[in-house]
Structure 1
Amino acid sequence: MTTILLIDDDPATLEVINECLLPHFRTRIATRGGKGLELAQLSPAPDLVLLDLELPDMNGYQVCSALKRDTRTAEIPVIFLSSHTDMADIIRGLELGAVDYVPKPVAPPILLARVRTQLRLRQAQIYLADRNLHLEALVRERTHALEARTLDLQRSQELTIVTLGAIAETRDNETGNHIRRTRAYVRTLVEYLLQQPAQLERMPIEEWELIWKCAPLHDIGKVGIPDQILLKEGPLDVGEFEIMKRHTTLGRDALREAECGGDTQHPFLRIASEIIYSHHERWNGKGYPEGLSGENIPFAARLMAIADVYDALISKRVYKPAMPHHKAVEIIVQGRGEQFDPLIVDCFLVCADTFDTIATGNSDNAPPQPIADTSLATGLIRGPSQPG
């Protein structure tokens, strides 16, 4: 049974939290930071820690740091509890390794939702690591059966992608068919580029195919962004945007953890990591998280960038109306050589009518339509400084 460790010295808060969690989880309780660290090391380890910032013997930051330094507890998600809402305090906690922040007095429905979200993310990370080990075992055991091994790998990869993409969708009820549309846009760009012989030299055909298959994972890191920022109705302030930008790193790190479990780096993990981590980089070097420019930006991320921005432009959000297709095309063209790779913008212009058709057939109000996974081998962003 899932175990939650509560570290708080306020009896009233503990009573509220315990009453909220006990119907669903097992709980351990500590009223001092030192005792909390002891309970965190018991077997089985807790699946999540709810940690008050103000404790009698040490503050929550010290407890969180100690948890993250210990290899036995470093991977346990930590959610801070505090009556303070200063953005600097929230950022400090996230930088120490916390995954979320819940204000006091605690609202049980919000707390339960946040806890379940972080548990789902942790389960996905564990699943991905286990899946990677399984893939490595298959490779070692079936080197004499190449066709069967390849089929197993593809099925495992696609199952992982679908699972993680679905988790990302549960966090944001506004994006509708965004994941479905952007995958189709990226596939359209890939198929057009593959008609050009010079582009075939970039990578094997199987890796071209992985680009569009991995596209649904591009925002998986948003699972780790606090609700009050991810679901905010209106522009993000500077501090909030800094936290939002962390979704690229959170998503990349989840896949990197899985890569550490094997002896080799699977192409689909590498390509997915490139898309997740770098799809907000800009051709002119003014993007994030690293400020990469030009050809230093992974090619898969450059493809994803145009698909993601186009869909953000033509989609309605609480902070903006939907933009007509022709206006979105104009903005993409204006970004040629600034925000976007000129080659991919030129490709986009040729495929623009197909983008419009995909958007119309997969609108946010339309029921999901199946997207065929046929192998290629056989067949308004919130503003200039904010993410879509």
Structure 2
Amino acid sequence: MQVLIAEDDKSSALILEGVLVSLGYEVLVASDGAEAWELLRNNDCRIVISDWQMPHMDGLELCRRIRSRQVSSYVYVILLTSRSGSQNLVEGLQAGADDFITKPFDAAELRVRMKVGERVVSLESRDLVIFTLAKLAESRDPETGAHLERVREYVRILSQRLMQNERFSSQVDHDFIQMMYLSSPLHDIGKVGIPDDVLLKPGRLTPEEMDRMKQHTVIGGRTLDAALASHPSASFLQVARDIAWTHHERYDGTGYPNQLAGDDIPLSGRIMALADVYDALTTKRVYKDAMPHAKAREIVLEGRGTQFDPCVVDAFLQCEQDFVRIKEALQDADSEINSAVNAPAVAGGV
């Protein structure tokens, strides 16, 4: 990550730069706010550390200019100051500062505050990546409708129920639930690599075509695995990778692509498996009508211990009325899209 230092005192700037480089950051240094502004306009700096008092343009004015920029990426600003008191704090926050470090700064404190800035910046990047990738996959499938919206609600509700189960107390917390909600739309990202003659076929697939379709789990898993290798601290990518790889595995080991069984299947994949199947059963497609909740419920129960984790099925039974509510609330969008898909001029999806 590239960091910009704006500091007119050369000794302080040199010390700051040394600490940041030792922490693994790429550092640019400006001797005042005006120079920092020019560097910021021509470089992708996501964190700025600025002295409050500088010639030509002080730290407050630099903050104001940063906040006035019409750009999509958020810049996290830390002000260096020897000032104290609530009035100065308010003035800095009003100008757009995110955090403050008192001079002379402590290296350990700087390290911690930089980590806070990284988390804020990475949250924005995470949500943008998830949204972009999910929409990319969605654009390939004309029958998707409100599938992504329903499924992420289903996995959130299932995860909340599982959090109440002592067996999952060490796995499922509020962070896990949030990661499931954010990452679940990426479960079918691998469909971007499936040929149109298979993905867009208006009817049931042949066994050979089904084998090709099954490759979307491998394509999606490998894609997200590569992304995770480049950004190992991005926990949402790990959850998304696991979901993409394993949401078609079965609890009895007869699923695909790796015939995993039981707890060898990540919990995220076991949750996603039920949510995805339920939505497929209760949604109209070119080759089938939407199944009522009662019939879908029977199929889910029949799959307890074979297709689905028994604990996930039990969680489903505890919150099935929430599933019905979500299905009914988000079915209108699918009705409109499926009407368009069934029109003669448009090929249906799988």
Shorter-chain TM-score tier: 0.5 to 0.7
**1:158-237 alignment, distance < 5 Å:** 158-202=127-171, 205-237=174-206
Residue 297 of structure 1 pairs with residue 265 of structure 2:
yes
Q: Say if 1:166 and 1:241 are closer, same or farther in 2 by CA, change over 3 A.
A: same
Which residue is equivalent to 1:152? 121
Give the match's secondary structure for 1:260: helix
Q: Is the 8 A contact 2:163 2:173 kept in 1?
A: no
Structure 2 CA distance for aligned equivalents of residues 235 and 218 of structure 1: 21
The one-letter code matched in structure 2 to 1:206 is D
Structure 2 CA distance for aligned equivalents of residues 282 and 343 of structure 1: 14
Where structure 2 has 5 or more consecutive residues not aligned to the other structure, the ranges are 1-72, 74-109, 337-349
Which residue is equivalent to 1:134? none
Give the match's secondary structure for 1:274: helix
Structure 2 CA distance for aligned equivalents of residues 161 and 244 of structure 1: 22
- TM (norm. structure 2) is 0.62
1:275 to 220, 240, 243: 243
Q: Deviations over 1:94-151 (max 9, x none)?
A: xxxxxxxxxxxxxxxxxxxxxxxxxxxxxxxxxxxxx9xxxxxxxxx96434443322
Structure 2 CA distance for aligned equivalents of residues 306 and 235 of structure 1: 21
Structure 1 CA distance for aligned equivalents of residues 164 and 120 of structure 2: 26
Structure 2 CA distance for aligned equivalents of residues 150 and 215 of structure 1: 21
Which residue is equivalent to 2:297? 329
Q: Deviations over 1:209-255 (max 9, x none)?
A: 21221000000100110111001122211211111011001111111
Which residue is equivalent to 2:84? none
Aligned-pair CA distance for 1:155: 1.9
Q: Is the 8 A contact 2:137 2:188 kept in 1?
A: yes
Q: Is the 8 A contact 2:159 2:172 kept in 1?
A: no
Please provide the CA RMSD for this pair. Answer: 2.1
Aligned-pair CA distance for 1:355: 0.4
Most deviating of 148-157 and 322-331? 148-157
Q: Deviations over 1:281-332 (max 9, x none)?
A: 0001110000001111110000000000000000000111100011101110
The one-letter code matched in structure 1 to 2:297 is V
- Identical aligned pairs, as a percentage? 44
Where structure 1 has 5 or more consecutive residues not aligned to the other structure, the ranges are 1-130, 132-140, 369-387
Structure 2 CA distance for aligned equivalents of residues 191 and 154 of structure 1: 22
Aligned-pair CA distance for 1:199: 2.2
Which residue is equivalent to 1:320? 288
Q: Deviations over 1:363-388 (max 9, x none)?
A: 153699xxxxxxxxxxxxxxxxxxx8
Structure 1 CA distance for aligned equivalents of residues 328 and 185 of structure 2: 19
Give the match's secondary structure for 1:249: helix
Q: Would you say how many aligned residue pairs link Structure 1 and Structure 2?
A: 229
Give the match's secondary structure for 1:303: helix
Structure 2 CA distance for aligned equivalents of residues 197 and 149 of structure 1: 33
Q: Is the 8 A contact 1:190 1:212 kept in 2?
A: no
Q: Say if 1:303 and 1:295 are closer, same or farther in 2 by CA, change over 3 A.
A: same
Give the match's secondary structure for 2:319: helix
2:225 to 235, 241, 256: 256
Structure 1 CA distance for aligned equivalents of residues 333 and 174 of structure 2: 34
Residue 244 of structure 1 pairs with residue 217 of structure 2:
no
2:319 to 312, 334, 351: 351
Q: Say if 1:203 and 1:311 are closer, same or farther in 2 by CA, change over 3 A.
A: closer
Structure 1 CA distance for aligned equivalents of residues 164 and 118 of structure 2: 29
Q: Say if 1:310 and 1:366 are closer, same or farther in 2 by CA, change over 3 A.
A: closer
Which residue is equivalent to 2:328? 360
2:309 to 307, 323, 341: 341
Give the match's secondary structure for 2:300: helix
Which residue is equivalent to 1:109? none
Greater gyration radius: 2
Q: Is the 8 A contact 2:186 2:244 kept in 1?
A: yes
Q: Is the 8 A contact 2:188 2:220 kept in 1?
A: yes
Aligned-pair CA distance for 1:159: 1.1
Which residue is equivalent to 2:346? none
